[in-house]
Amino acid sequence: MQADFISKKTILTLSWVLIAVHFFIFEQFFPNRQGLLGHDYSYILPLLLDGYYWFTANGIFSPHWFTPSFCGGLPRLANPQGIYYSLPQFLTFIFNPLTSLKITFATFSGLGFYGFYFLLRSVFSTQRLTALLGATLFLFNGYYAYRFVVGHLPFHSFMLVPLMAFLLLHSSNTEYRFKKWRACLDIVLCALLFTYMVYSGGLNGILPVLLCIVLIYCLCALCMEKKMGTGRFFLRLMVSGLVAMMISLPLLYAAVSFLGHFERVMYPLPGFNSLWGLLKVSLTSLFFYPAHEMAREFLVNKRWGLNRHEFEFGITMIPLLIVMVGSLFWLKKCLGRGCLKTMDLPRRLHVILILLILLVPIALNVYHPAWNAFLKQVPLIKTSSSLVRWFVIYIPFFIIAACLVIEKTSWFAKHRVSIVVLSLLFVVGSNILSSKEYYHQQPYNPEDILGAYEAAKARGGPPVISEITVIKNAAGQPVMPGSRNNSLAAGKSQMLCYEPIFGYRLELLPFKTMTEGPVWLESGGALNIKNPACYVYPRENHCEPGDHFALAERDEALAFAGFRPFHFNFSRGQEIANFAGGLFLLSAVICVIVCLFFLLRSRRGRPAP
């Protein structure tokens, strides 16, 4: 391997330039040239405003269990798509929602870039230039950028994948007697990143993320001489996952309790009726352009259309070209040496595991009536309305594979500088020049939410939700426009809110006696506002999911409508989950502090006490 002749300062400067270019390419969509945002910000921005209301009324340490802002009152923490405990929400405590989104986008872009760079440098021992190319390819992946643009904010935590893999796999040069502290720190930090994914609404993406990490390990075990043992890796991954699960218990238990009453299985699961069509769409979307129009020819059994943003995975054709040329060199070399015959058993098993994982998105998206019926019985899978997002596991795999080809093929190593420079120019240029008209036509107007945010900041507190409202057309018929959750900005709770937990047309929402009008309207011994505790803990609160506050609970309803805590009963399981989650979070923080203390002492050359 040739010596690293590119200095760290040069790499650092180039990285700043690339991250800045990436930011300015996509910053134009916050808002776009129409002054609007991606369509799913009609769900996200009202949530950010709702979270800001709760913060101004109760401070940062009061758990946001419920909200009166939508559908007459809903669970907030129990919603697995909730984003209250996320960076964009915390930033709204200081900045307006649009500024918070921009800072979040830049922050996670940087975390993804540097996480991938250090993964390649420390785990795969690549040259700096190769690591720079890999980090740039990951930075510009279409899955992160365009889902952020359209408002799929819970998926921003995908950019943590390389950092988590780095923590689990890197070899520490720490002094031997301090290695256990470094290993402990790595595992706990990885657990905290998993926890962030859960609490920031990314629970649905956890399984693809786990597959990404296992794929990265398999590539390391297959191609690197110095590698972590399989047992050790899976032990670290399991411990990290268990710690994250224990910290996340309050949310996980509440979510299971909530979703147990509203299992969204009424939508058919779409799939591709042709294996060739599936492969064609996936490869085109990954290496060339979003194949949403091509997919319409092959997708069957669908209720909802899948637009361009659902097929944004692009990492450009660069990894494909490098892997294809590298494969030719490898085949030429191995045909003469019989590489497959001489491969030891562990490496063969890793090859098999890689192939099995790579087949998962294909298996989930191919359509056959019997297979589709089976998938509709699988937990998590059966509640989905599309499984195209599982293609995301190919993004880090093909980028790392391309970087390994550059490192381990003499021809590529010889022409490394030219290949990297041309590739960087192509990646940046193609992202600048690619058509983005679809994203400039996104329809959501954030002005109401931004105005309500500034009013709450000036007032120093939230309004009281005083009315249940419905938007009607010119004929007086109720309608459900995409921006209907904006009713929150006027101090009203939208009865026909946008909440996917109940279905895209609120097929599962128990309306009961809820009606348009003041929340203090009385009907059948109940007020016109729901008791959200009944959605999660109905038995403990002597009610049924969707029940309203009773007349005798007027004080609790008043507190709830004013974004203040109200009295309700937890289930015994939730109390245990709350205690365990708090205890594990405190333990994790203490563990990080203790490990950092010992590691800092080792760096100073002083013996540990």
In 487-565, alpha helices (H): 533-536, 554-561
Q: Quote the CA–CA distance of 242 and 588 in Å, as a whole number.
A: 12
**Length of the chain counted residue by residue:** 609
Q: Quote the CA–CA distance of 590 and 584 in Å, as a whole number.
A: 10
pTM beyond cutoff 0.75: yes
Backbone angles phi, psi at 606, to 5 degrees: -95, 145
Helix axes 416-433, 394-408, angle to 10 degrees: 150
pLDDT for the residue numbered 569: 96
In angstroms, how far is the first alpha carbon of the chain from the final one? 42
Question: Closest Cα partner for 309 from 111, 82, 108, 39?
Answer: 39
Q: Is the pLDDT of residue 608 over 60?
A: no
Residue 269 makes CB contacts below 8 A (sequence gap 6+) with 301, 372, 375, 376, 381, 382, 384, 385, 387
Instruction: Let me know: does 130 contact 142? Beta carbons within 8 Å.
Output: no
Question: Closest Cα partner for 259 from 515, 441, 77, 73?
Answer: 77
Segment 278-286 shows an average pLDDT of 96
3-state helix, strand, coil in the chain (%, to 5): 60, 5, 35
Q: Is the pLDDT of residue 602 over 70?
A: no
Q: Is the pLDDT of residue 607 over 50?
A: no
Q: Is the pLDDT of residue 512 over 90?
A: yes
DSSP annotation of 366 reads: B
382-435 pLDDT, tens digit per residue, is 888 889 999 999 999 999 999 999 998 888 888 899 999 999 999 999 999 998
Q: Does the CA dihedral 451-498-553-527 come out positive or negative? A: positive
What rounded mean pLDDT belongs to the chain?
92
- The CA–CA distances, whole Å, from 172 to 185, 251, 609 equal 11, 34, 22
Q: Is the pLDDT of residue 239 over 70?
A: yes
Question: Closest Cα partner for 490 from 455, 528, 530, 522?
Answer: 455
pLDDT for the residue numbered 519: 95
